[in-house]
């Protein structure tokens, strides 16, 4: 019969070490957390052979008193808690007092520590047994050296991975702790080569730049929010910068890295309908809560926590991230490449591009007058999808009389402020007429071509200045009032005027605004407008009853899906009923959906919901809105009148539409400076 007996202390230490020290990364995590709790400002981590041969962690913290060095390596010895009440409000990263004892039990450990008062202390242990303790000269702080990890536990040693894999796991731990405390300067050295150094300036963006790299840092948006007794802060990725995995999601609670399904769900819910399918947002989010509202004593690794109010945590993270996404007004920048081959040499019979540009720039010009831009031709209802842009050097008197309020020359907004006296009223009219095409002069093409004429790029050619043309006026110029010496009243910055120049490939709307050209994907933008309208809580569709019902014949499974969802579809304007022989009769449709799009919309919707059905009402409604918004949107490659393009452009330029429901950007920008670089004007 088996005999019950107490284990040898050394065997018990080895068993306990197995719970705390799984691999070199576990050792680095525990030692770095001790350094942070000691008040360090700089931490250096050095490993060799993936951490199996050597781990050295050096900090400039408070150090350990000589008479407490041996006590630090005893089980359940800690300076961070003293009673059961301290467990209810843990404010440090470590608190169990098991890490150093577990590490020492499976390795050879050396400790160098100094409290900044004279000589320090050197301590050596092997397999948990004291070897030597003596005075030593060392700087203030603590240095822990861990050699030959698992030298006395071959069973654990044989499960270790390659040095490269173990080193990568250590690097990931160092990165997370660097992001959790941006006020710390963290250095990581692997096999004699420095791989990471954070500035330790207290700025989270600086830590992100150093840890995750420049590309990710530039693709992050600041996020901030607050709830009941909690705050969220950090950065989240742009919807266009989402990745194929969740490896770039970093969550922290009170400075501790954690894995939280609640925070992850809140983050991804905020990106719903703004990112592409199969992509996941990245983030570095810090949640600050009261210590007594979160329990970190759940798992040996302390990466899993329990919140007292998970619903409040979800709401705080969700609204903080959503506010960051809604507040972003940036657009992706277009990448411009030259279409001309590079020429490194110039033959005697050739004229270099530099000489041609120099001769052009050398023309006399008036420095006090801003250069006028191109004349815009009046849009015509012709097969050409473009609005012609015709540069004229000298306007005629009739042209100037035809447009006294909005000059036929449309220049970019003047940088310097101008005092307006007699013509300020006319200038203000010109500024506010962003939606109205200006009076134009029609230019007839000299040679007929089967291809639509392409408008001249804005800002490429500088026509000869015409002094008789009125200067464009900045939108901020105040209109003079009758009262003498009026008090200055702060006014909100008006939107910079813009004008639609036409279409490109019947797919992209070209909008000129100041020193940039905005290209808008008309289908994606209109799809987002439709989706937001369908998603609005007060949305009530205008139903169009059909005199002759539309009959569709889906497959058996698709037919059942549509019949099961009649109640939901009725809320979007559809009226369906069985029609026998496997068919469905559509007796009413929403007014914004073309008759020819009814059958494709319902069949595509049924195909998407064939597997999931209506089990998740929220997801099913989203699928309905996605499909209907897409089918009701104007199509790329088709002609649209100018009023439709103006309405779509208005939504985008006002910042109401930034991404389509699938997460693709709806607009990109091309600046005048980029164009001038390609034409060697800058």
Task: Choose the weakest-confidence range: 186-195, 235-244, 348-357, 489-498.
Answer: 348-357
Calculate the average pLDDT of the chain. 77
Q: What is the pLDDT of residues 61-100, one digit of tens each?
A: 999 999 999 999 988 788 777 677 666 667 778 676 788 9
With b for 16 or more beta-carbon neighbours within 10 A and e for fewer, the 40-72 pattern comes to bebbbbbbbbbbbebbbbbbbbbbbebeebeeb
Task: Give the C-alpha separation, 193 to 426, whole Å.
Answer: 67
3-state secondary structure 9-78: HHHHHHHHHHHHCCCHHHHHHHHHHHHHHCCCCEEEEEEEHHHCCEEEEEECCCCCCHHHCCHHHCCCCC
The band of 358, judged by pLDDT with boundaries at 50, 70 and 90, is very low
Of 131-135, 324-328, 433-437, 519-523, the range with the lowest mean pLDDT is 433-437
Q: What is the mean pLDDT of residues 391-397?
A: 40
Please state, as a whole number, how many other Cβ atoms lie within 10 Å of the Cβ of residue 107: 26
The answer to whether the beta carbons of residues 81 and 87 sit under 8 Å apart is yes
pLDDT in tens, 105-140: 999 999 999 998 889 999 999 998 999 999 999 999
Cβ-contact 469, 409 below 8 angstroms: yes
Higher pLDDT, 468 or 53: 53
pLDDT at residue number 332:
66
Statement: residue 357 has pLDDT above 70: no
- For residue 82, the model assigns a pLDDT of 65
Got the DSSP string for 393-441? SS--HHHHHH-SSS-SB--PPPSS-----TTHHHHHHHHH-SSSPPP--
Evaluate whether 54 touches 132 at the Cβ level (below 8 Å): no
Chain centre distance of CA 342: 36
Per-residue pLDDT of 537-578, as tens digits, reads 666 778 888 888 998 888 888 888 888 888 888 888 898 988
pTM of the model: 0.61
Give the pLDDT confidence score for residue 205 in this predicted structure: 94
What is the predicted pLDDT for the residue at 365? 41
Q: Which long-range contacts (CB under 8 A, 24 or more apart) does 260-266 make?
A: 260/305, 260/313, 262/307, 262/310, 262/313, 262/314, 262/317, 263/287, 263/313, 263/314, 263/317, 265/314, 266/313, 266/314, 266/315, 266/316, 266/317, 266/318, 266/321
Q: Which residues contact 587 (CB under 8 A, 6 or more apart)?
A: 545, 546, 549, 575, 576, 577
Strand partners, 590: 543
Alpha helices in 63-203 (DSSP H): 99-105, 154-157, 163-180
- 3-class SS at 83? coil
Query: Domains in the chain, ordered, with CATH?
Result: 9-197 (3.30.565.10), 219-327 (3.30.230.10), 522-653 (3.30.1370.100)
- Of residues 501 and 277, which shows the higher confidence score? 501
User: What is the pLDDT at residue 256?
Assistant: 92
**pLDDT of res. 616:** 76
Stretch among 188-202, 272-286, 316-330, 484-498 having the lowest mean pLDDT: 484-498
Residue 298 has pLDDT above 80, yes or no: no
Q: Is the pLDDT of residue 382 over 70?
A: no
Q: CA dist 453 to 382, 409, 444, 639, Å? A: 12, 20, 11, 15
Tell me the two tokens of residue 16: 């306990």
Instruction: Give Rg (Cα) of the chain.
Output: 34
Q: SS3 letters for 393-406?
A: CCCCHHHHHHCCCC
Per-residue pLDDT, 349:
47
Residue 315 token pair: 């709401």
- In whole angstroms, what is the distance from residue 392 CA to residue 378 CA? 14
pLDDT band at 491 (very low <50, low <70, confident <90, very high): low
Helix axes 24-37, 163-180, angle to 10 degrees: 20
Evaluate if residue 410 carries a pLDDT over 70: no
The pLDDT of residue 611 is above 80: no
Q: Which of 101-105, 222-226, 388-392 has the lowest mean pLDDT?
A: 388-392
């Amino acid at each position: 019969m088996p005999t019950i007996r107490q284990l040898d202390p050394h065997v018990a230490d080895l068993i306990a070490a197995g719970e705390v020290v799984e691999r070199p990364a576990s050792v680095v995590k525990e030692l770095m957390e001790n350094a942070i709790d000691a008040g360090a400002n700089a931490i250096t981590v050095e490993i060799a052979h993936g951490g199996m041969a050597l781990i050295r962690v050096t900090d400039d913290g408070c150090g350990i008193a000589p008479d407490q060095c041996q006590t630090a390596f005893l089980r359940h010895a800690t300076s961070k808690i003293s009673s059961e009440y301290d467990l209810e409000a843990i404010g440090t990263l470590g608190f169990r007092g098991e890490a150093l004892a577990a590490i020492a039990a499976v390795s050879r450990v050396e400790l160098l520590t100094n409290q900044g008062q004279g000589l320090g202390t050197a301590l050596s242990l092997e397999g948990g047994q004291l070897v030597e303790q003596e005075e030593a000269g060392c700087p203030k702080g603590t240095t822990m050296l861990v050699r030959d990890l698992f030298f006395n536990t071959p069973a654990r040693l044989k499960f270790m991975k390659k040095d490269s894999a173990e080193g990568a796991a250590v690097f990931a731990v160092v990165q997370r702790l660097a992001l959790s405390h941006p006020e710390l300067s963290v250095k990581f050295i692997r096999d004699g080569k420095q791989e990471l150094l954070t500035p330790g300036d207290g700025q989270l963006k600086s830590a992100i730049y150093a840890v995750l790299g420049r590309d990710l840092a530039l693709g992050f948006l600041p996020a901030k929010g607050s709830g009941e007794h909690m705050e969220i802060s950090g950065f989240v990725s742009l919807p266009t910068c989402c990745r194929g995995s969740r490896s770039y999601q970093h969550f922290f609670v009170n400075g501790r890295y954690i894995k939280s399904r609640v925070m992850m769900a809140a983050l991804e819910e905020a990106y719903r309908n703004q990112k592409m399918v199969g992509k996941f947002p990245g983030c570095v989010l810090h949640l600050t809560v009261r210590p007594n509202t979160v329990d970190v004593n759940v798992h040996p690794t302390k990466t899993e926590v329990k919140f007292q109010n998970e619903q409040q945590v979800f709401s705080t993270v969700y609204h903080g991230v959503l506010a960051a996404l809604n507040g972003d007004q940036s657009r992706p920048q277009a990448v411009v490449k030259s279409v001309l081959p590079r020429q490194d040499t110039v033959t005697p019979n050739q004229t270099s591009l530099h000489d041609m540009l120099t001769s052009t720039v050398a023309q006399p010009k008036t420095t006090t007058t801003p250069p006028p831009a191109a004349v815009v031709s009046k849009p015509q209802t012709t097969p050409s999808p473009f609005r012609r842009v015709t540069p004229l050097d000298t306007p005629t008197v009739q042209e100037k009389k035809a447009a006294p309020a909005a000059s036929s020359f449309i220049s970019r907004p003047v940088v310097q402020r101008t005092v307006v006296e007699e013509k300020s009223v006319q200038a203000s009219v010109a500024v506010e007429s962003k939606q109205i095409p200006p009076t134009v002069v029609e230019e007839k093409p000299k040679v007929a071509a089967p291809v639509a004429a392409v408008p001249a790029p804005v800002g490429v050619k500088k026509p000869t200045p015409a002094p008789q043309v009125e200067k464009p006026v900045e939108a901020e110029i105040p209109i003079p009032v009758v009262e003498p010496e009026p008090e200055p009243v702060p006014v909100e910055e008006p939107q910079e005027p813009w004008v639609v120049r036409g279409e490109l490939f019947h797919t992209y709307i070209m909008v000129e605004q100041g020193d940039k050209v905005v290209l808008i994907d008309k289908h994606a933008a209109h799809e987002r407008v439709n989706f937001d309208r369908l998603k609005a809580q007060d949305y009530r569709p205008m139903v169009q009853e059909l005199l002759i019902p539309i009959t569709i014949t889906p497959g058996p499974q698709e037919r059942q899906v549509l019949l099961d969802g009649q109640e939901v579809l009725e809320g979007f304007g559809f009226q369906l009923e069985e029609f026998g022989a496997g068919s469905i009769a559509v007796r009413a449709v929403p007014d914004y959906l073309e008759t020819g799009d009814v059958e494709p919309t319902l069949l595509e919707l049924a195909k998407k919901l064939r597997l999931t059905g209506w089990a998740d009402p929220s997801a099913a409604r989203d699928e309905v809105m996605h499909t209907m918004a897409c089918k009701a949107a104007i199509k790329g490659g088709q002609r649209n009148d100018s009023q439709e393009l103006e309405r779509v452009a208005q939504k985008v330029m006002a910042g109401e539409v930034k991404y389509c429901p699938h997460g693709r950007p709806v607009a990109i920008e091309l600046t005048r400076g980029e164009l001038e670089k390609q034409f060697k004007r800058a």
